[in-house]
Amino acid sequence: MTLTGPGVEIYPHIFAQGELRSVKMANRCIVSPMTRTSATEDGLATEQMAEYYARFARGGWGMVITEAAYIDLKYSQGYTFQPGIATNEQAESWRKVIDAVHAEGAPIFMQIFHGGAINQGNNWVEGSISASAVTPRGEQIPRYRGAGTGFQTPREITRDEMAQVVEDFGHAARRAVEIGFDGVEVHGANGYLLDQFLTVHTNLREDEYGGPIEKRVKFHCEVMQSVRDAAPNVPVGVRISQTKVNDLTYVWPDGDDDAKVVFPAIAATGIDFFDCSAHLGLDHVFGTDRSLSGLARRHTGLPVFANGKLHDPELADRAIAEEEGDFVAIAKGALADPEWPQKIAAGLEPVPFNPAMVMPFATLDCNEAFWKENPSGVPDEPVVARDGVES
């Protein structure tokens, strides 16, 4: 959908057309992946979800990324009522979502996911697995129907299971493309299985997947190679972050030296983009003159999605103008107002985010009845810091 209005002149970077491989986007504004735990118990996408996603496309977003969908009927599911892409039946259930978004003229990518140790609801197996048997920091997340108590201790994933997970990410990507998704994003961030390999305190392995960063990134690379091979003709990318859904303080220990290894190693698998999530997407990191997304761009030359509090259109436009990213991914701002791009283009004020829109459960009307009665809401910052409404 081509947007018009005074905002298009004021924010030319976010309203410029975009392209990833052959996928064309009317503008550079992307709906960032958001887990809504609104599928059926066995992971099927619902009619309500189709309507929920179509609202963003109708609101003028250049592209929509789905919430994280799990890839197998083993340990990948992290949340009850999370959707999956592990079977043909689950894949088929997404067809209505894809059709609804396409009918409004926007492309839709699927985010595929393995939760690893961050498992607070799995329909298929007991227990959890991770790079190493380390109990995750923090507590289960209430907004994803978690108990608010600690996580169980995972067991170390075996080498055979690792090979199977790599294969299953490929199968999931192939299913996603066959059903009609325009691209695939692997969730390599925010403390889930892939990130558990990247992170020093959750990866205590002594084999070639543990130790220095060159080894800790190896699992990411194998997964991305599998996804690349399974989906050769559509854009394929990966989400990377420092912080985690259960730990907002983690910083890459070797800073830009880690970035110089992580981004080129993954890029060498032939992927098309990086999506870098951060609390504040424009904040420079590691004492450099760049944000994490800016470093991904600098170290690989690939297109990058910048993310993190970019719902202020000035910041979003600056992120692209200052080469911190080529696209902006917006989560809470999109949830608050699915018509954000149209309103910014028209010079109108979008509905501001209120944490009640995601709490206590992810309902499809964003808990509208509650937050409309509490228009001033709860202050954003403390809730973000406490509940990690980030990942």
Ligand X SMILES: Cc1cc2nc3c(=O)[nH]c(=O)nc-3n(C[C@H](O)[C@H](O)[C@H](O)COP(=O)(O)O)c2cc1C
Q: Which residues are at the interface with ligand X (CB under 6 A)?
A: 32-35, 67-68, 111, 187, 189-190, 239, 277, 307-311, 330-333, 358, 389-391
In the complex with ligand X, the residue whose CB is nearer, 36 or 228, is 36
In the complex with ligand X, the residue whose CB is nearer, 190 or 225, is 190
| CA gap 301, 280 in Å, rounded | 22
Our answer to whether residue 192 is catalytic in this structure is yes
CB of 162 to ligand X, least distance (A): 22
In the complex with ligand X, the residue whose CB is nearer, 190 or 246, is 190
| Half-sphere exposure of residue 144: CA atoms within 13 angstroms, side-chain side | 27
In the complex with ligand X, the residue whose CB is nearer, 143 or 257, is 143
| CA gap 40, 213 in Å, rounded | 39
Helices then strands, each counted (H, E), the chain: 15, 12
In the complex with ligand X, the residue whose CB is nearer, 121 or 333, is 333
| CA gap 360, 163 in Å, rounded | 37
CB of 356 to ligand X, least distance (A): 12
CA nearest 63: which of 252, 262, 326?
326
Task: Determine which one of 11, 70, 144, 192 is catalytic.
Answer: 192
For residue 34, the one-letter residue type is M
CA nearest 216: which of 204, 233, 224?
204
| CA gap 21, 118 in Å, rounded | 33
CB of 109 to ligand X, least distance (A): 12
70 beta partners: 84, 113
Q: Do 176 and 85 meet the contact criterion of CB atoms below 8 Å apart?
A: yes
CB of 307 to ligand X, least distance (A): 5
CB of 288 to ligand X, least distance (A): 21
As annotated, the active-site residues are 192
